Structure 1
Amino acid sequence: MEHFNKTKAVKLRSHLGKYLVADDDHHKIRQSKNGSTRKAIWLVEHVKGKNHHVRLRNSNGRYLTATDAPFLLGVTGNKVVQGSLEEGWDGKLEWEPITEGFHVRLRSWCGKYLRGNGGTLPWRNSITHDDPYSSVTHDWILWGVEPLEFPEKLLSLPETHFSSEEPGSPTSLSSLSRSTSSDSVFRSGMEFFHRAKVVRLRSHHDKYLQADDDEESVTQDRNGSSRNSKWTVELIPEFDNLLRLKSCYGKYLTASNQPLLLGVTGRKVVQSVPRRLDSSVEWEPVREGAQVKLKTRYGNFLRANGGLPPWRNSVTHDIPHRTATQDWILWDVDVLEIHVVSPAPPPIPHSDSLDFDSSTPSAVSIKSTTFSRQESTDSYVGSPPKSEGRTIYYHVAEDNGDVDDENVQGYSLAFKGNGVEQLTRKFEEETGLEGIIVCTRSPLNGKLYPLRLQLPPNNVTMQVVLVLPSSKGQSSPCQMFFFLSIVLVLLPNFMNFTVFSEVK
């Protein structure tokens, strides 16, 4: 419930990285990758007499409503729609937030949970309330809560304002929702981490952020030359204003929900390796002159505490309420190592025929400029680190087979292995989609071709497109490959049946 107590409005992000949105038809609720729209804003209303229940009202003035009508006949899951008090929905408009780590579950009037569905149509992007019956779909009822500080300002803007701007621009919903407490334009601090591989963070007390030897605690120390004060920077492909910081023990700087001391503000900052890399390990640099503030996804700031023990040298995330502690959330960034941009790859020789069925690296490691920022990390200053698998960037084709991989930023997946079948299973677990075909794009005609056999070595960064067998359009080569595979499997059985019939 603490996610909704201190905010007037929120955006809800599902396990699939999509936002809960309300369509303009005043009825349908669905998921969308576009969180920079008024449709993704939900105003929080607390229910009188029920301290642990809220109503979520959209820009149409209607509420998130859990009905008792089945989404599809014969299967579990009931519809979630837009309702109103005048229509007599009563308690079906109310939801009980239940904290689970850094996410929440929203329990409906009948004890079921708001669920963002994945998989194939008609499940894809749908919203139901249901109980998760398998471990694969357990995370589908978990929601990330992104508070909005100026909901009235955002709702007063016309919808064309949101749709005409790129997410992350200074006046888009994404940046306004993460703005500071002043009305000034959002100021990104990502430039302090431009091309940075390893950094040190120096606090207002002239001490360095340090990962303790117990591999769990985070404190301050004046010794900035030790390896404990070095933090590796990881950029997040899905966002252009968020990053992760990894300690020398391979654990992430994490904003926990545990209080440092009972009865006082400020929650612990620790080292951890969560089962999934969620918002607890994501930090947003906000520029403040020549320094930065590191903001959590829930509006708190990384704070270096002073004073007497046990406050002295401790590190928490909090919002400073006094003038004397305002500077405790300011950090100087010392860049110790940088990434070196890789040289441009040699041009691909022109050939009248190109075999996309082979498993050679040239057939599957085609790179576009979409991920040039991430791929610039392929070359490092000093000796390269030990290979622990590969990073695979991917897009998911739409239902009609279209893939906007030039304008839309994709996702990334860490994968160890060389088999296409193993990679396909990994993608199915990651996305919740079933029966996908992993494809790569031809540099000559732009068409998609399925991957086969083995993948290139682990040091080769890959870009692929996930296509469903039912997709149409430019993904037709993948669809053709799927049906040919079925024919090749069934053909021997068909021939044996024919011979048997003739003998008989």
Structure 2
Amino acid sequence: MELFTKTNVVRLRSHLDKYLVADADGSQVRQSRKASGRGARWTVEEITDGESKKVRLRSYHGRYLTATEAPFLFGMTGKKVLQRDFEPGADFKHDWEVTRDGFQVKLMSWSGKFLRANGGTPPWRSSVTVDEPHSSATKDWVLWDVETVEAVEELVDDLCDSTVSSVASDDFSVDSEPASPMSVFSLKSPPARRNSNLMLQAITSNKFRNGMDFFHRAKAVRLRSHHDKYLLAEDDEESVTQGRNGSSKSARWLVEYVPEYDNIIRLKSCYGKYLTASNINFLLGMTGHKVLQTLPQRLDSSVEWEPIKDGGRVRLKTRYGNFLRANGGVPPWRNSVTHDIPHRTATQDWILWDVEVVEIYVNSPANSSKPSAPPLPGSDPVPVLASAPVPPPPSLSASFTRQQSNELNGLSQKMEGRIIYYNIAEENGEVLDEGSQGYSLIFKGNGVEELTRKFEEETGLEGIIVCNRSPLNGRLYPLRLQLPPNTVTMRVVLVLPMSNVARDLEAEGLL
């Protein structure tokens, strides 16, 4: 049911990779490979009915997806599925009970039968009925992928539909004297429609293509999180974590382009397994789900990721609307990777990733199947794959070296601040890894309140208390209004607000 609660507009994709589409006649439904357009969009209305999880699906005609009692073919078990106006008293026919099956859902009608996407020869081909799978070969016919529809996508679809309908109605004219034998027809668009076309081009290029620019010709990449840690494939060949060692083979992910889409990729670890958005809860009662390395028998949507540009970084979205998220905070969240939606401002950046290309295709993989021109005589053929070149150090004159040294010194003087190393205390105030260097950040201010906000953004924790350990008795004391002056580095301990040590500090009047 949570697949329907992420947005109020969805697309439903069948096992045949076709979409549930409302026909333009306002009554029929069918399957189509065309995902764009208003016909493939369904508005979700949740129904409260005890413990049952039910929805109603409304087409762009304002009519509801309805399971009828009329047979699809005489003598067959399947019943027709139509678009119908809301019927008071018979509204139960518009209700669909949602049952999750892995990453897909089954939609059961009031009659106890399921929404089914049929295959085979006509008239079954591309039809939709309510029925039950009667053999193992058809058990997948009642499974549907739920794809969320963004507001920008809705605008694109509406512009496409309006442009196509306008062209079909009045935009074709016959030239009396064509310029060439091929140019018999010409399209004449009024200014308003040309503006719509320009808007459509701008939206589609910015929204759907720019995210792939980060992976242009990339064969292998590293992904660096907001915490300056890399996405790592653990040697158990199942877990995925974060770590600072970006030079290890575990940080390297091979990029696979999905032929059917121009905005979807797969990422394969050094162990030959795919980065997978599982449906396993990371912690019971929490929203995040585990991200794993898997090698499914059939490559499904759980291993597919859509890159979306966000400034100079990308968000990697699952086909169900979640994002690849690098978690911070205390264990077990620390260094974990889940797929989720950020619910607070402090964690908005946790789904942003820097893409570092470490190996490239010399020729675009999309064009690799096309025949290439033969090599010149006496020349070696160009390899398809190559490592990202590292430019050699330039030869510098002594005067330029002195100038560069002066610029670097000036730059280091401008980057004022201090390095603050920090650890997070346990419930009783003990710091397990206090002897190690721990984590660090660069802080340019002097106020404790400002530093506290910086730590909250870095760790995702709220209400933390920034403390210092006394060199005399080893006890933790909260820092006051200002940080000590003339210190290049500092070491602090972060205390959680509901811990025992926080209560002790409050009882002593130190908070």
Confirm or deny a common fold (TM above 0.5).
yes
Maintained 8 Å contact 2:6/2:321:
no
Task: Give the 3 Å change call, closer, same or farther, for CA 301–59 of structure 1 in structure 2.
Answer: same
Task: Give the 3 Å change call, closer, same or farther, for CA 302–226 of structure 1 in structure 2.
Answer: same
Maintained 8 Å contact 1:116/1:128:
yes
2:247 counterpart residue number: 225
- Counterpart of 1:274 (choices 274, 283, 296) is 296
The question of 1:380 aligning with 2:382 is answered no
What residue identity is the alignment partner of 2:18? K
Maintained 8 Å contact 2:207/2:308:
no
What residue identity is the alignment partner of 1:257? N
Q: Could you report, residue by residue, the CA deviation over 1:32-71 in whole angstroms, capped at 9, with x for unpaired residues?
A: 1111111111111122435511111101111111112221
What is the distance in 1 between the residues matched to 2:198 and 2:150?
15
Maintained 8 Å contact 2:98/2:107:
yes
1:192 counterpart residue number: 214
Q: Could you report, residue by residue, the CA deviation over 1:193-224 in whole angstroms, capped at 9, with x for unpaired residues?
A: 11111111111222110111111110011112
2:8 counterpart residue number: 8
What is the distance in 1 between the residues matched to 2:90 and 2:199?
37
- Counterpart of 2:276 (choices 251, 254, 257) is 254
What residue identity is the alignment partner of 1:74? G
What is the distance in 2 between the residues matched to 1:147 and 1:378?
40
Q: Could you report, residue by residue, the CA deviation over 1:421-442 in whole angstroms, capped at 9, with x for unpaired residues?
A: xxxxxxxxxxxxxxxxxxxxxx
What is the distance in 2 between the residues matched to 1:292 and 1:70?
49
The question of 1:36 aligning with 2:58 is answered no
1:392-407 equivalences in 2 (<5 Å): none
TM norm structure 2: 0.62
2:141 counterpart residue number: 140
Maintained 8 Å contact 1:14/1:116:
yes
- Counterpart of 1:329 (choices 351, 363, 370) is 351
What is the distance in 2 between the residues matched to 1:378 and 1:89?
66
What residue identity is the alignment partner of 2:293? Q
Maintained 8 Å contact 1:37/1:162:
no
1:290 counterpart residue number: 312
Secondary structure of the residue aligned to 2:210 is coil
Secondary structure of the residue aligned to 2:100 is strand
Maintained 8 Å contact 1:199/1:230:
yes
1:46 counterpart residue number: 46
Q: Percent identity?
A: 62
What is the distance in 2 between the residues matched to 1:137 and 1:171?
43
- Counterpart of 1:159 (choices 158, 161, 165) is 161
2:223 counterpart residue number: 201
1:307 counterpart residue number: 329
Residue 148 of structure 1, CA deviation: 2.0
Maintained 8 Å contact 1:170/1:185:
no
Q: Which has the larger radius of gyration?
A: 2
Task: Give the 3 Å change call, closer, same or farther, for CA 135–381 of structure 1 in structure 2.
Answer: farther
Secondary structure of the residue aligned to 1:82 is strand
Residue 159 of structure 1, CA deviation: 2.5
What is the distance in 2 between the residues matched to 1:94 and 1:171?
37
Maintained 8 Å contact 2:232/2:241:
yes
What residue identity is the alignment partner of 1:199? V
Task: Give the 3 Å change call, closer, same or farther, for CA 156–346 of structure 1 in structure 2.
Answer: closer
Residue 144 of structure 1, CA deviation: 0.8
What is the distance in 1 between the residues matched to 2:137 and 2:312?
46
Residue 275 of structure 1, CA deviation: 3.4
Maintained 8 Å contact 2:228/2:244:
yes
Q: Which runs of 4+ in 1 moved over 4 A?
A: 151-158, 162-165, 169-173, 184-187
Residue 156 of structure 1, CA deviation: 6.4
What is the distance in 1 between the residues matched to 2:157 and 2:358?
43
Unpaired runs of 5+ in structure 1?
A: 348-376, 383-504
1:70 counterpart residue number: 71
Q: Could you report, residue by residue, the CA deviation over 1:4-49 in whole angstroms, capped at 9, with x for unpaired residues?
A: 1232111111111111111122221101111111111111112243
Residue 76 of structure 1, CA deviation: 2.7
Maintained 8 Å contact 1:198/1:336:
yes
Secondary structure of the residue aligned to 1:225 is coil
Task: Give the 3 Å change call, closer, same or farther, for CA 155–55 of structure 1 in structure 2.
Answer: farther
What is the distance in 2 between the residues matched to 1:218 and 1:333?
17
Residue 236 of structure 1, CA deviation: 0.8
Unpaired runs of 5+ in structure 2?
A: 168-192, 375-381, 388-511
Maintained 8 Å contact 2:327/2:350:
yes
Residue 289 of structure 1, CA deviation: 2.0
Maintained 8 Å contact 1:170/1:186:
no
Maintained 8 Å contact 1:46/1:54:
yes
1:457 counterpart residue number: none
Maintained 8 Å contact 2:208/2:263:
no
Q: Which has the higher contact order (CA 8 A, sep 6+)?
A: 1
Maintained 8 Å contact 1:69/1:79:
yes
